[in-house]
């Protein structure tokens, strides 16, 4: 049913898709060597067994008309989406069915997606307010991605989903003096929490990536850290800077195991300390990352380097959310005003010297 082939020294499985009537290649992510071939043969057996089950299921669905729910489930299964992406897709599908009163793919046409767009504009959410522009964009983008795949797999003839316009919000960072107050308090009262916040400040890591970080991922010889992007299920490289190395030494370097023992629900200290210090507004943990990236973008470093350090797959993400925050400073510079000194990423990351 499937054949192992080589292309550019990488291994693929070539198989015949009975549903679309075409030959397809599945990348295995393996090199063409002895170990890679051994693993490819194991994957081939599992793939062929799963393929039989899938064809039986698909033939049944096609024969009885594939429902929108079945299409969403198939899309999520084949593309191996994250839990949050699957949840978003299913929620978008639920809104589509509510807006159109239609349950089968073949019954949908262009007018139905126009009705869906109108529905997003008029529907009141759980908070008693209409959907925000970004919520509408997320729902429409989830559906558009799904129907793009369905069209490519020939389950539908056209992708009529209307992509709702996204609203780029004003970037909100944490003022340096606020972050310093939090760090000073944690340094005195909760050293473990201080170390975690300091790591976020020095790296701009997503919370999930920082929580997953282990000692085995740090290469002290090459001065690099291999970091898991838990959200996108990929890895990226971050430099082991002198500041990060000093922090790890202060923590006590270990041979193995997770660096931070917190669970995703065990970071409530961040809000408790803000209550303790009497701040008038809360700052989220993710804003430490925004502060880190915004500082880089405004420091003269190229956008390509900023995108690399931030693990943005597209430089457009970096530009859209961070480079534009620098426009006011550039305007003042062109108008002949004396620019206020911009702190370097190293200066901002160091903050006050503690410990």
Instruction: Report residue 90 as tokens.
Output: 């299913």
Cα–Cα separations (whole angstroms), residue 156 to 71, 104, 233: 10, 11, 29
pLDDT at 63: 45
* H or E element, residue 27: strand 22-31
| Phi, psi (rounded to 5 degrees) for 137 | -65, -40
**3-state DSSP helix/strand/coil percent for the chain, to nearest 5?**
55, 10, 35
Q: Summarize pLDDT for 93-148 with one digit per residue, the tens.
A: 999 999 999 998 889 999 999 999 999 999 887 778 888 898 999 999 999 999 99
Residue 216: CB atoms within 10 A of its CB come to 13
Per-position pLDDT tens, the chain of length 355: 678 898 888 998 887 665 455 778 888 888 899 888 888 888 787 666 665 455 444 544 444 578 899 888 888 877 767 777 888 899 999 999 999 999 988 899 999 999 999 999 998 877 788 888 989 999 999 999 999 999 988 888 899 999 998 877 777 899 999 999 999 999 999 999 999 999 999 999 999 999 999 999 999 999 999 999 887 778 999 999 999 999 999 999 999 999 999 987 789 999 999 999 999 889 999 999 999 998 888 887 888 999 999 998 888 888 877 766 666 666 767 887 654 444 433 343 333 333 3
Q: Summarize pLDDT for 244-254 with one digit per residue, the tens.
A: 999 999 999 99
* H or E element, residue 243: helix 242-251
Whether 85 and 149 have beta carbons less than 8 Å apart is answered as no
Whether 309 and 238 have beta carbons less than 8 Å apart is answered as yes
pLDDT at 3: 86
* H or E element, residue 327: helix 327-334
| Owner of token pair 């956008």 | 303
214: left (phi over 0), alpha (psi -120 to 50) or beta: beta
What pTM was computed for the model?
A: 0.60
């Amino acid at each position: 049913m499937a054949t192992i082939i080589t292309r550019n020294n990488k291994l693929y499985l070539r198989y015949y898709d009975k549903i679309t009537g075409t030959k397809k290649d599945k990348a295995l992510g393996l090199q063409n060597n002895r170990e890679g071939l051994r693993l490819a043969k194991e994957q081939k057996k599992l793939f062929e067994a799963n393929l039989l089950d899938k064809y039986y299921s698909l033939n049944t669905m096609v024969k009885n008309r594939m429902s929108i729910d079945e299409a969403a489930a198939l899309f999520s299964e084949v593309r191996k989406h994250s839990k949050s992406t699957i949840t978003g897709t299913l929620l978008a599908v639920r809104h589509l069915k509510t807006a159109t009163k239609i349950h089968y793919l073949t019954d949908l046409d262009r007018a139905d997606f126009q009705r869906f767009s109108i529905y997003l504009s008029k529907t009141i959410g759980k908070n008693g307010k209409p959907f925000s522009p970004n919520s509408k964009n997320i729902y429409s983008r989830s559906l558009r991605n799904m129907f793009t795949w369905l069209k490519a797999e020939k389950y539908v003839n056209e992708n009529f989903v209307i992509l709702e316009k996204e609203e780029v919000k004003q970037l909100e960072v944490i003022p340096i003096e606020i972050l310093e107050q939090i760090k000073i308090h944690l340094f005195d009262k909760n050293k473990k929490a201080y170390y975690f916040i300091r790591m976020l400040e020095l790296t701009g890591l997503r919370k999930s990536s920082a929580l997953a970080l282990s000692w085995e991922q740090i290469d002290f010889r090459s001065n690099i850290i291999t970091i898991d992007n838990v959200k996108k299920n990929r890895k990226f490289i971050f430099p082991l800077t002198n500041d990060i190395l000093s922090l790890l030494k202060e923590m006590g370097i270990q041979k193995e195991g997770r660096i931070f023992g917190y669970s995703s629900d065990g970071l409530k200290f961040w809000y408790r300390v803000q209550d303790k210090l009497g701040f008038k507004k809360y700052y989220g943990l993710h804003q430490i990352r925004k502060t880190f990236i915004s500082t880089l973008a405004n420091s003269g470093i190229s956008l390509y380097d900023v995108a690399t350090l931030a693990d943005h797959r597209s430089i457009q993400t970096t530009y859209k959310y961070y480079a534009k925050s620098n426009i006011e400073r550039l305007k003042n510079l062109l108008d002949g005003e004396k620019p206020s000194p911009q702190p370097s990423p190293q200066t901002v990351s160091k903050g006050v010297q503690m410990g």
